[in-house]
């Protein structure tokens, strides 16, 4: 199975605290992967380590991007990784408060912008508003719209449902399914494992900065490892 991106013995330190204690994980290309774990388990840190916004204190980040050979991108800055085709939507502060909604979509081409607005028609009437004045849910829609409609082949989404109503979350999961079907890779970080169409292909469970389970969602049952 082709791998999109991987962490090898990754360690991340915030000042004196080590948040990841040597994590190994591979993200399969063209699949939906989910990182599970409770607060402080290291989910968000894994995403930031992949995206380059948290430097590693040890280990490597390997980028495959659909190729057979890995490229060591450990030292590559976040914006260069973004240009490789990787997008992270963080769980908090995911929009630029002083930029308008239209500004957020201005980095997309015309077709992508239309696609973004088709996915979230709610945003059409908010185009001129600055993002800082939007509700939390609306902000999340702006961030997701820009990420989903963008050209990235790898999407890293941290708690994507935050602030969104259930029907909107379902719509997002539909769009993610379409993205995966089109060959894109999706990584979600959540506290609990969703069921039904939103269920992932592969699950990693993190506990206290280490991977304690890796496998298919069905295998998680009966292991005694809980995420929530």
Partner 1 sequence: MATPLALDLAVAGIAVGSAAALSGIGLVVCYRATGVLNLAQGAVAMVTAYALRETVVVWHWPRPLAIACCLLLFAPGLGVLMDVAVFRRLQRRNAGTAETLVAGLGVFVLLVGGAALLWGLTPLGDAPVLVPATPLVAPGGLRVTLDTVVELGTVLVLAAGVGAVNRWTRFGTTLRAVVDNRRLAELAGLDADEVSSVGWAFGAFTAGLTGVLLAPGLRLDPYGLPLLVMETMAVAVAAGLRSLPLTVVVALALGVAQSELTALHPAGGNQALLQAVSANLFVLALVAAALLPGRLASAATTQTMPLPGDRPHSALVRRVLLTACAVMLLGPLALRGVDLRSLLPGPALALVLLSLVVVTGYGGQISLGQAGYAGLGALLTGALAGGAVPGVPPLPAPLALPLAVLVAAPFGLLVGWPAIRRRGLTLALTTFAVGTAMSRLVFQQPVLTSGLRLDRTGAWGNDRVFYAVELVLLGVALLLVRALHEGRIGRALGAMRDHEPAAYASGVDVPRLKLLAFTAGAAFAALGGGLLGLGAQAFDPNAFDPILGLLWFAAVVVFGAGSASGAVLAAVALTTLDAATTAGVSAAAIGVLALLRGRFTSPTATRGQPQTRPQPQSQPQPLPERPAEAAEVRLSPLGRRLASQRHGSSR
Partner 2 sequence: MSPRGARGAQLSAHGLVRRFGGVIALDGVSLEVPPGRITALTGPNGAGKSTLFRCLSGAERPDAGQVLLDGRDITRLPEHTRARLGLARTFQQIAVFPGLSVADNLRVGAEQAGRRPSKEADAPVARTLRLLGLDQLADLPAADLPTGTLRLVELGRALAADPGVLLLDEPAAGLDRDETERLVLLLTALAGDGLAVLLVEHDRELVDRIADSVHTMAAGRLTDGEGSRAHGR
Q: By CB under 8 A, name the binding residues for partner 2.
A: 13-19, 21, 38-40, 207-210
The answer to whether the CB of 72 falls within 8 A of the CB of 60 is yes
Give the Cα separation of 102 and 97 in Å (integer).
12
Q: How many CA atoms lie within 13 A of 5 on its CB side?
A: 28
The answer to whether the CB of 160 falls within 8 A of the CB of 89 is yes
Token pair 């696609």 in the structure block, residue = 115
From partner 2, partner 1, none, which one binds at residue 38 (CB under 5 to 8 Å depending on kind)? partner 2
From partner 1, partner 2, none, which one binds at residue 77 (CB under 5 to 8 Å depending on kind)? partner 1
Tell me how far, at minimum, the Cβ of 78 lies from partner 1, in Å.
Answer: 4
From partner 1, partner 2, none, which one binds at residue 53 (CB under 5 to 8 Å depending on kind)? partner 1
* Percentage helix, strand, coil for the chain under 3-state DSSP, each rounded to 5: 35, 30, 35
From partner 2, partner 1, none, which one binds at residue 165 (CB under 5 to 8 Å depending on kind)? none
The answer to whether the CB of 60 falls within 8 A of the CB of 10 is yes
Residue closer to partner 2 (CB basis): 25 or 73: 25
Binding site for partner 1 (CB under 8 A): 1, 3, 6, 8-9, 11, 13-16, 18, 24-26, 28, 51-53, 55-58, 62, 77-79, 82-83, 87-88, 90, 93-99, 103, 106-107, 146, 202, 211-216, 219, 223-225
From partner 1, partner 2, none, which one binds at residue 19 (CB under 5 to 8 Å depending on kind)? partner 2
Tell me how far, at minimum, the Cβ of 59 lies from partner 1, in Å.
Answer: 10
The torsion angles phi and psi of 202, rounded to 5 degrees, stand at -140, 140
Tell me how far, at minimum, the Cβ of 81 lies from partner 1, in Å.
Answer: 9
Give the Cα separation of 107 and 100 in Å (integer).
12
């Amino acid at each position: 199975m082709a791998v999109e991106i991987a962490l090898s013995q990754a360690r991340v330190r915030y000042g004196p605290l080590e948040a990841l204690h040597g994590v190994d994980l591979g993200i399969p290309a063209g699949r939906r992967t989910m990182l599970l774990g409770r607060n402080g388990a290291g989910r968000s840190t894994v995403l930031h380590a992949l995206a380059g916004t948290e430097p590693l204190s040890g280990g490597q980040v390997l980028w495959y991007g659909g190729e057979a050979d890995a490229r060591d991108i450990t030292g590559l800055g976040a914006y260069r990784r973004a240009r490789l085709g990787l997008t992270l939507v963080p769980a908090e502060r995911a929009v630029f408060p002083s930029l308008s909604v239209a500004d957020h979509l201005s980095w997309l081409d015309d077709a992508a912008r239309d696609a973004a607005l088709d996915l979230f028609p709610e945003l059409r009437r908010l185009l001129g508003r600055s993002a800082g004045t939007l509700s939390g849910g609306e902000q999340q829609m702006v961030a997701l719209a820009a990420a989903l409609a963008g050209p990235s082949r790898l999407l890293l989404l941290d708690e994507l449902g935050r602030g969104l109503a259930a029907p909107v979350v379902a719509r997002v999961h539909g769009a993610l399914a379409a993205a995966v079907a089109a060959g894109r890779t999706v990584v979600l970080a959540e506290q609990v494992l969703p069921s039904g169409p939103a269920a992932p292909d592969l699950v990693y469970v993190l506990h206290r900065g280490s991977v304690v389970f890796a496998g298919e969602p069905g295998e998680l049952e009966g292991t005694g490892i809980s995420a929530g």
